[in-house]
Structure 1
Amino acid sequence: MDPQAQASPPRNSLESSSDHEELSKLEQLSRRFTSVEVLTRNAPAGKISVPRHVHLRQGTRGHTFLELSPLFSGSLWGRGGTPRDGFFPSDNEITTDSESGFCDPPAPYHSFSKGKKLGLAYLVSLAAVFSPLSSNIYFPALNNISAELNTAPDLIALSITIYMVFQGLAPSFWGPLADKYGRRPIFISTLIVYLGANVGLALSKNYATLMVFRGIQAVGSSATIAVGAGTIGDIAMAGERGGLLGIFSGIRMFGQAFGPVIGGCLTQYWGFRSIFYFLLIFASLVVVIIAFFLPETLQRIAGDGTIPLTGVHKPLIENFRKKKDVEEGKPRDVEKPRAAAPVSFKTFLESFKLLFEKDVFITLLFGSIIYAVWSMVTSSTSNLFKKEYHLSDIEIGLVFLPNGLGCVIGSFVTGRLLDLSYRSAANKFRNAQSPPIDVDVELTQQKYPDFPLEHARLVHTWWLAFVFCACTAAYGWTVEYAIAIPLILQFLIAFSATSIFNINSTLMIDLYPSKPASATAINNLMRCTVGAIGVSVVEKMAAAIRDGTTFTVLSGVAAASVSLVWLQWVWGPMWRKERMDRLARKEALALAEADESEGENLKEKA
């Protein structure tokens, strides 16, 4: 037998323990599995270490993961008999992720090369461009839309709020579906909805129609961010996740940077309807590219990237390629995708459950406050600069460039910083263990719960928050002096804000690696909800207490929210480990109940 396939008993185990006696039988699993690893969790002084998880590896293509509780280790065999019976649970009974969403998939994480991972990051980033692009391309056209639809500017501005509300809500429903049925079909479905919305917006004849299709447009475009982040979560290990998410955010922020310029030019020469025809044509091209080149990455369906894809999960380009790795006349033994549970109302509530976790809620609330203040700066730019400098539609579009470039550069820079800070913290943790942990070992939450994940991710938040608050406080006072100064401050505000968003998004996926789309979706929900409230009141605030005072007050709110980062820094690791323990006990109880029910069914059949 391969030495890697042997299962050694847990440290400090008790020979008389029935749990540990049963674990000794894991060696017999080598009849089917090529690797068996028993993971234990270190116990307090004077207590024994007990088995926590079992990793089972089958071949080189597919991996299965089974969680084991010491109280119910008998359930490992009870689901279908013991290995001695020649009977083991089917592939559909063992899943690679837990319903709780916190379990890390077993290593190696994915078979894709670094180049292919980068290619997929670029591809999903292209689709995710539509969320910020659709929002920002619209800003220079507000006055034009108001005049053409004969509607007050304040009412037209509400269409921005409507967009942000649906931008926050929609991913909370699309995200769980993507975590259950795959990234590719949800990508294509949301973009088809987006295409229809742009047709409706281009043909809008009145204010009501505009508002309805603006909401539908947000439903179609916003989900691409959650599903795109889910795709990266599928293929990236923690040490490379920050960099890939930085690329993902940086590319999609080109929509933030150049959307207003494009919108200003289109509105100036062809009217506001040309904006939506442009988006329709662009999105149609992206749908074709996604359909041809994006493979399914959800591990339940695609495994580590080596399970052959079929149906809607298979890229169309594969139909034109020669079949590889198949010998003539010999069928290939491959792992089959596991079937998904049926959709229920509970499916759509999965994202919302995360709000009840203390560390998650604090992380989301801090990011949402920063997002709201940044959105208030951005959404007030058109009226503020038009009032002070009497700019044309094209010039208004150009005013948004520093903000957009700050978003793009901030995304790429932070992605790099996140990877460096994670590697530094990981190396320090590995070297502090006795014996030191090998550098190639992935520091999963289950195997190494004491790794300071929160510190590794949040280390750069402190100085970024200082830059954001200082620049926001000065911004409103500088507008009346010279246009260059507020534009420089807009760049710094966008740079620091986007960097904070990337840190929060990466931490959320780290906390819930098995449900990255759902984690990103609830992140969007919180940010967009708080942001929509801010956007709806910023103009009234500026009219009541002047621009300078308005942004100074907002800076104070943002500064006060930094206390939430301190709470996460100090208490976050403890809350994370408490959640892991609680969810592990809950799943063990559910497994035991299922075993008891199955045992009763077997007795009845006997």
Structure 2
Amino acid sequence: MQPEPPYHVFPRARKKTLMYLAAIAGMFSSLSANIYFPALGQISREIKVSPPTLSLTVTVYMVVQAVAPSFWGPLSDTKGRRVTFIGTFVVYLVANLGLALSSSFAPLMILRGLQAAGSAATISIGQGLIADIATPSERGSFTGTNQGIRMFGQAIGPVFGGIISQYLGYHAIFWFLFGGGVIALLILVVFLPETLRPIAGNGSICLKGIHRPLYYRFTPSEEHLIEYNLPPKKNFRLSMIFTPFQLLLEKDVFTIIVFGSIVYGIWSMVTSSTTALFQTRFGLSDLQVGLIFLPNGIASMVGSYVTGKHSKHDWAVMECRYREAKGIPPSTVLLKKDLVDFPYGRTRLRSIWWLLPIFIVSTALYGFSLQLNRLAVPLVAQFFISYTANSIFALNSTLVVDLFPRASASATAVNNLVRCLVGAGGVAIVQVVIDAIGAGPTFAMWAGIISLLTPLLFLQWRNGTRWAIERNERNAAKEREKARGDVEKIEVIELST
């Protein structure tokens, strides 16, 4: 009997390098969204549109950011991570070139949508790459670190946006993004190999053509173990664009995505309203507006990274309990077939019970803290909101991939879809609500809403494992039925000949 091959043959250091490459690509999504905020006042004055009208460009960006991965995700799950990364960056570069050359509202709104179409899917493709190379025990740490690096764009974007717009004008922002995109695309073309398992296996398959990075031509070939039972390769069909939506019919997926999306919507409203709330109240310049985004950005990085590291500890604790319950000795390697009833939901959500109260209290107090006219107080509240929100995002993203590791990019795409649609809706209405009832009641109301949705987490905690087992049994029954049908077809053909 042949030994079970490793999940992936690359050493951990090389896996982390690939994860870093995916994170650099994914950073352009948050960077492109947030570098724009400090320049909103300048753009509004120069193209002569009101701030509420200009905010439509933010809403359009988020709507396209939600929808675009539904196309790129299935393409990534069928044609490969590398080729899809390259395609998204080509679209991104075209959009930034157009934005750098346009000076009116209509092209700005259209091209911001195209910019989102090129940058947003890098996140779901990166999650797909992590699922390709990382074992479940590594996945939480890799996802958290990946998100932390991506959130570097969240931290530095507004600062760079403020500096560039104040001294060079807002057009220079898009030239900056164009130049950064060219560098990132070259790095991916030269260094990123294909990782999609039906194409690359567990890293042991010899890559050819577009799947082979340029640097392989200058390095000696490596001897790997042979991959057994290579997963079947799927062909891309336009109907696959709708496949991610079907995942929302799964109860465990629905509960965790809906809850995470409301958290994302609240965080998006806090972030997008910062310029209007702070610039007028505290009399800040574009550069100073960029700097006040730092607590939010730094917290998003730290929260993602720390949660990723803590997820590794949570996995170790739950794995130990699982082994004790099943009588599996510590020396036995747990294979995929051994984890069919593993409590993924409880493993990933262990930390959410202390993160969520901090998020709710910080959000409830945030709007009222602005009335104190002390700049530091609302910024501290923003730090805690961002830290806890991004920690919840990291747990949420890891769990979604755990539930659908073989369609990880598509699963991440539907997660992204619901998140960004909720975020876009929140961004579209937040200033209107603030103008109507004030910042304090607005954010206190959202803190109350997320509190009322907490039972969704209890449903996932209590029933998530059972729901996953039932889905796996249904899928196994369908595969057996399909195999039986294939055998019958072969028998008919043999009889006819």
Are residue 389 (structure 1) and residue 287 (structure 2) matched? no
**Which residue pairs with 2:349 in the alignment?**
458
Indicate the residue corresponding to 1:469 in structure 2: 360
In 2: Cα distance, 1:159 partner to 1:413 partner: 33
Question: Which one of 378, 390, 410 corresponds to residue 498 of structure 1?
Answer: 390
Letter in 2 for 1:558: I
2:213 aligned partner = 315
Query: What does residue 359 of structure 1 align with?
Result: 252
**Mapping 1:413-432, distance limit 5 Å:** 413-432=306-325
For residues 441 and 105 of structure 2, what CA distance do their matches in structure 1 show? 33
TM-score of the pair, normalised by structure 2:
0.97
Partner of 1:561: 453
Q: Distance in 2 between matches of 1:139 and 1:423?
A: 41
- Secondary structure of residue in 1 paired with 2:453: helix
CA distance in 2, matches of 1:485, 1:440: 52
- C-alpha offsets along residues 227-270 of structure 1, whole Å, 9 cap, x if unaligned? 01111111101111111111100001000001000000000011
Name the structure 1 match of 2:169.
Answer: 271
Partners of 1:336 and 1:455 lie apart in 2 by 31
Residue of structure 2 in register with 1:122 after alignment: 20
1:337 shift after superposition: 7.5
Please state whether the residue corresponding to 1:447 is helix, strand or coil.
helix
Once the two structures are TM-superposed, the CA of residue 299 in structure 1 deviates from its matched residue by 0.8
Counterpart amino acid of residue 478 in structure 1 = S
1:523-602 equivalences under 5 Å are: 523-602=415-494
% same residue: 45
Structural mapping, 1:13-412, within 5 Å? 34-35=2-3, 108-325=6-223, 340-412=233-305
Structure-2 separation of matches of 1:367 and 1:169 = 17
* Contact 1:307–1:335 (Cα < 8 Å) also in 2: no
Q: Distance in 2 between matches of 1:568 and 1:560?
A: 15
The number of equivalent residue pairs is: 496
Gaps of 5+ in 1: 6-33, 36-56, 58-106, 327-331
Deviations 1:516-539 (A, max 9, x none): 111111110010011111111100
| Greater percentage in helix | 2
Q: Distance in 1 between matches of 2:16 and 2:475?
A: 34
Whether contact under 8 Å (1:264, 1:395) holds in the other structure is yes
Contact 2:74 2:236 in 1 (8 A): no
SS in 1 for 2:305: helix
Query: Equivalent residue of 2:391, what SS?
Result: helix
- 353, 371, 383: which one aligns with 1:480: 371
Letter in structure 2 aligned against 1:419: K
| Corresponding letter in the other structure for 2:423 | G
Secondary structure, counterpart of 2:445 in structure 1: helix
Q: For each residue in 1:564-592, what CA deviation from the matched residue of structure 2 results, as whole angstroms up to 9, or x when unmatched?
A: 10110011111111111111111211111
Write the deviation string for residues 445-464 of structure 1: whole angstroms up to 9, x where unpaired.
x4333322211111111111
Superposition TM-score, scaled by structure 1 size: 0.80
Given that residues 129 and 251 in structure 1 are in contact (C-alpha distance below 8 angstroms), is that contact kept between their aligned partners in structure 2? yes
Report if the CA contact (8 A) 1:430-1:439 is conserved.
no
Give distance in 1, aligned partners of 2:490 and 2:196: 29
Q: 1:206 to 1:450 in 2, by over 3 A?
A: same
Aligned-partner Cα distance in 1 for 2:482–2:243: 18
Change (3 A) 1:339 1:575: closer
- Secondary structure of the 1:144 match is helix
**Structure of higher CA gyration radius:** 1
CA RMSD of aligned residues (A): 1.7
Give me the whole-angstrom Cα distance separating, in 2, the residues matched to 1:580 and 1:439. 27
Take 2:15 and 2:231, find their aligned partners in 1: how far apart are those partners? 23
Contact 1:386/1:396 (<8 A) preserved: yes
Q: Is the 8 A contact 2:204 2:226 kept in 1?
A: no
2:259–2:457 contact (8 Å) kept in structure 1: yes
Structure-1 separation of matches of 2:301 and 2:223: 41
SS at match of 1:438: coil
Q: Deviations over 1:515-562 (max 9, x none)?
A: 111111111001001111111110011011111011100110111121
Q: Distance in 2 between matches of 1:404 and 1:159?
A: 21
**In structure 1, what is the Cα distance between the partners aligned to 2:123 and 2:492?**
46
| Preserved contact between residue 201 and residue 227 of structure 2 (Cα < 8 Å) | no
Matches of 1:487 and 1:333 in 2, distance apart?
53
Distance 2:457 2:229 in 1: 43
Q: CA deviation at 1:439?
A: 4.3
What SS is found at the alignment partner of 1:151?
Answer: coil
Q: CA offset at residue 286 of structure 1?
A: 0.6
Whether the 8 Å CA contact 2:260–2:419 is kept in 1: the answer is: yes
Amino acid at match of 1:141: A
Measured against aligned partners, the alpha-carbon deviations of 1:167-199 in whole angstroms (never above 9, x if no partner) come to 111111101111111100000110010000001
3-state SS of paired residue (2:471)? helix
Pair 1:493–1:450, CA change in 2 (3 A): same
1:27-70: CA deviation from partner (whole Å, max 9, x where unpaired): xxxxxxx25xxxxxxxxxxxxxxxxxxxxx6xxxxxxxxxxxxx
Q: RCO greater where, 1 or 2, for CA within 8 Å and sep 6 or more? A: 2
